[in-house]
Chains A and B, each alone.
Chain A
């Protein structure tokens, strides 16, 4: 071990390594790599936490795990394997969620530094706040395909994870999702909507059938409507997709034929759509090709199961199997209560199989060149190496040298592949998390929002609090208490009823995160059309509420913007495609793309996310979608595979 051998490091660093106590949050792709680097370097006191168990799909990059470990705790097996590298290390593992109250500020205070190796924004936000509260340096890292980044978060010195507003969940026009998908993400969004239509919570804004009100199809829709009646919203009238599926008892052949043959034929009849586009090809259940999307024949290749690409006929089989298992699950749930439904869960094999199969089939039908590959092992290795080099600098008390570093998929104009920032980015004084007295403005419909919605949707879901207490400033009334049973009576009351109105100031406190936030309420009427605009907006300062003209939420083209997120939240910015194109041109002339990149990579919650491997024009990255549970990569392989870092 490097720190045990005289002369490998300076005495100063060597002692600091031996005496330090460090925490790794996450034992996935980056976590495994970090742990290996730490034990080989000679770190002695290491703690690692992960709530996950090992899945077969992890084995191609989470190299501390083998087939025989499938189903076991990641943190436990990572510790076991790392101890074979260095039996003298003292590794404590937790098979647990870092957000539980067992890991409070005093837990974090034990450590010299904390390293995040996480795959989702909620946990990153939480660890960010805990490290700020405990004043412990945090090394944050993330990867997406061939790109990655590492940055230091230290209270008062650097930006915190929440200093820069993370890009809102991007929306796609409904007609792109329903009629003219051009990128794999469109197919994934469609497949997730389909999941909800068939098994989950039905949402009229997540229709998956052809949209005849597509303005692009204007001239031909009438003729193309094939004598079907369509309602004013452009949906072909019929019983709901769910009702129809239930009426045919979730027969997979019938479902397949409707979704991938009849609906596609219908789309073809809207011929204006296909004047400049490659028309889709309807698929017949009886004659599914052996090809994989973008490829003419099935490739038999060795490798781990989850890395293999599915042919379309394989997708058909997976479709049938997952429909069967999901419809059984739904039936079982509904026997308990007819209102029950399934909830999309990326860790559920059938759910993931269903979405992957449907998205693949649709990508094939629309001849999509995009394709989807797992997280890249080498990217994790490189980023984890940078994390540990940052740790050395923290141990040498040289925090100013911990400049953010970006790994690019291709070198920049200075021939750099690993690109360091010039300086540590200073904190945002307006940050609603790390500013000395954090403040935010909440624009919300006080007459239509309940206390429960404020608690669940705004504070917990959007602001990632764990157990908030809310008091009205001035009167001292506690409207939400984290103590069970204290404020339950308020749950179904509207904000107004408790005196929360335009101008009210709320003192919000999360004891667990040691986080206090002052919230100024601004009245904002909730749109009656769901999906047209967010239910609420959170801003650093009130002036931001008055949007510039181009920021105004555009009236939707046909049936509203399709949102990927489950919550109905976004930050005021909606781009039309031409805005994006304009932006791209502007950005092409900008030298420093790294800041933007940072936001995006941080956003990846990576079961599947999209990366365009083109990289000649980095600008394209800004239009990419990082979906909550999906990471799609345009690269060699062509199937949609479920993966995580």
Chain B
């Protein structure tokens, strides 16, 4: 992590020289980063409302190529937030239906659809990409994709939105990145030795290099209660929703609001983590389909994290971002390390 290196410091001659070199380095660094962004190939798995938001953000940012992988068809629930698929594409393949509008966002980006089922793709498939971002997958699928990405040194992201709540997860393995830090340096007015000397400060930007180590998705499952911060309600909710998806092969539908099936999954987690009534209000809240403004929020975070990862610029979220629709708090949990 970045240490606090920003105390007001008087720049020594030696530091000034160093700073000068960092400036030059920074220029080269930044050029490299820009090129990396423009060369990046991204795979988005699952073109629901959340996937559409992620796609919009990275296409606007201007990567080289984006592939939409989805074997599912457009559903009525997609109408809640999937703005890339036209309404009349109901029942058609979701990846294909999303391409024309996505392409309109930026003609410089190569946008493609792949209608295969992710389970039919060999591990080598993922090596074609710099970043793989998976939504609407089961735990099993995420574990497998994550592992394949690790094997081929591909940055991996996963995320979901259930109704009003959502998360992003990142496994960037060993990630090197640059970070611009503003330092305040003191400029001495004159060296005439007069007592009335004024102090003067200027901000300078220094680029620092950092390395961050990530863990795979499997490590953030089943973490112990004691290793979780106090307000980790959304983490528990994510486990519940995943367990439901794992068991039934899909998420609960809006028509199944207040169904016993979801309550049963919730009870298991509540018992396991001894949560009493702490998450009851969330279980009763809107967890069905995907609500557009929440897709925009969590998809905005995900988009930004992907851009940061490929350009190797800025501290990445390590490793779970959770959005709580009740408090409107967006929080980063560092789990499984």
B301: interface (CB < 8 Å): yes
Contact check, A616 vs B327: say whether CB atoms are below 8 A apart: no
B157 to chain A, nearest CB (A): 14
B7 to chain A, nearest CB (A): 9
A578: interface (CB < 8 Å): yes
A276: interface (CB < 8 Å): yes
A417: interface (CB < 8 Å): yes
**Contacting chain A: which of B40-48, B73-81, B112-120?**
B73-81
Contact check, B2 vs A616: say whether CB atoms are below 8 A apart: yes
Contact check, A182 vs B108: say whether CB atoms are below 8 A apart: no
Those of A31-53 within 8 Å (CB) of chain B: 33, 36-37, 40-41
Those of B1-56 within 8 Å (CB) of chain A: 2, 4-6, 8, 11, 16, 20, 23-24, 26-28, 30-31, 33-35, 38, 49, 53, 56
A476: interface (CB < 8 Å): no
Chain A: residues with Cβ within 8 Å of the partner, total of: 94
Contact check, A2 vs B80: say whether CB atoms are below 8 A apart: yes
B215: interface (CB < 8 Å): no
Those of A152-177 within 8 Å (CB) of chain B: none
Those of B294-328 within 8 Å (CB) of chain A: 294-297, 299-301, 303-304, 307, 311, 313-315, 317, 321, 323, 325, 327-328
Which of A367, A385, A392, A613 contacts B180 (CB under 8 A)?
A613
Contact check, B297 vs A382: say whether CB atoms are below 8 A apart: yes
For the complex, give the distance between the alpha carbons of A50 and B258 in Å.
42
Those of B84-119 within 8 Å (CB) of chain A: 86-87, 104-108
Contact check, A33 vs B296: say whether CB atoms are below 8 A apart: yes
B75 to chain A, nearest CB (A): 10
Contact check, A612 vs B325: say whether CB atoms are below 8 A apart: no
A142 to chain B, nearest CB (A): 15
Contact check, A620 vs B184: say whether CB atoms are below 8 A apart: yes
Contact check, A40 vs B62: say whether CB atoms are below 8 A apart: no
For the complex, give the distance between the alpha carbons of A388 and B164 in Å.
12
Contact check, B201 vs A580: say whether CB atoms are below 8 A apart: yes
**Contacting chain B: which of A122-130, A235-243, A301-309?**
A301-309
A369: interface (CB < 8 Å): yes
Contact check, A37 vs B201: say whether CB atoms are below 8 A apart: no
Binary flags per residue of A285-311, CB closer than 8 Å to B gives 1, else 0: 000000100111101011110010000
Contact check, A301 vs B35: say whether CB atoms are below 8 A apart: yes
**Contacting chain B: which of A214-222, A316-324, A489-497?**
A214-222
Chain B residues within an 8 Å CB radius of A381 = 53, 56-57, 296-297, 299-300, 303
What is the predominant secondary structure among interface residues of chain B facing chain A?
A: mixed
Which of A7, A302, A384, A614 contacts B62 (CB under 8 A)?
A302
Contact check, A215 vs B23: say whether CB atoms are below 8 A apart: no
**Contacting chain B: which of A450-458, A508-516, A633-641?**
A633-641
B181: interface (CB < 8 Å): yes
For the complex, give the distance between the alpha carbons of A276 and B19 in Å.
12
A223: interface (CB < 8 Å): no
| Given contacts A7-B253, A295-B31, A219 and B330 within 8 Å (CB-CB) | no
A581: interface (CB < 8 Å): yes
**Contacting chain B: which of A70-78, A84-92, A191-199, A352-360?**
A84-92
Chain A residues within an 8 Å CB radius of B334 = 415
| Given contacts A295-B30, A410-B315, A389 and B300 within 8 Å (CB-CB) | no
Contact check, B81 vs A40: say whether CB atoms are below 8 A apart: yes
Contact check, A41 vs B328: say whether CB atoms are below 8 A apart: no
Chain B: residues with Cβ within 8 Å of the partner, total of: 99
Chain A residues within an 8 Å CB radius of B327 = 420
B269: interface (CB < 8 Å): no
Chain A residues within an 8 Å CB radius of B307 = 378
Chain B residues within an 8 Å CB radius of A377 = 57, 60-61, 303
B83: interface (CB < 8 Å): yes
Which of B16, B61, B105, B191 contacts A278 (CB under 8 A)?
B16
Q: Which residue of B lies closest to A410 (CB)?
A: B315
B256: interface (CB < 8 Å): yes
For the complex, give the distance between the alpha carbons of A377 and B63 in Å.
14
A340: interface (CB < 8 Å): no
Contact check, B27 vs A295: say whether CB atoms are below 8 A apart: yes
B163: interface (CB < 8 Å): yes
B37 to chain A, nearest CB (A): 8
Q: Which residue of B lies closest to A387 (CB)?
A: B293
B161 to chain A, nearest CB (A): 11
Chain B residues within an 8 Å CB radius of A299 = 31, 34-35
For the complex, give the distance between the alpha carbons of A39 and B181 in Å.
41
Chain A residues within an 8 Å CB radius of B30 = 294-295, 371, 636, 638
For the complex, give the distance between the alpha carbons of A183 and B188 in Å.
18
For the complex, give the distance between the alpha carbons of A342 and B297 in Å.
42
For the complex, give the distance between the alpha carbons of A61 and B62 in Å.
11
Can you give 7 contacting A-B residue pairs, CB < 8 Å? A8-B163, A60-B106, A63-B60, A216-B189, A278-B16, A584-B184, A635-B180
Give 5 closest A-B pairs by Cβ, nearest first.
A418-B330, A7-B254, A385-B296, A385-B297, A388-B293
9 further A-B pairs in the complex, CB-CB below 8 A; given A295-B31, A377-B61: A41-B293, A85-B83, A272-B190, A294-B26, A301-B34, A302-B108, A388-B296, A407-B330, A417-B317
| Residues in A lying within 8 Å of B, measured CB to CB | 1-2, 4-10, 33, 36-37, 40-41, 60-61, 63, 66-67, 84-87, 146, 182-183, 215-216, 218-219, 272, 275-278, 291, 294-297, 299, 301-304, 307, 367, 369-371, 376-379, 381-382, 384-389, 392, 403, 405, 407, 410-411, 414-420, 576-578, 580-581, 584-585, 612-614, 616-617, 620, 623, 634-638
| Residues in B lying within 8 Å of A, measured CB to CB | 2, 4-6, 8, 11, 16, 20, 23-24, 26-28, 30-31, 33-35, 38, 49, 53, 56-57, 60-62, 76-77, 79-81, 83, 86-87, 104-108, 163-164, 179-182, 184, 187-192, 198-206, 229, 253-257, 286, 288-289, 291-297, 299-301, 303-304, 307, 311, 313-315, 317, 321, 323, 325, 327-334
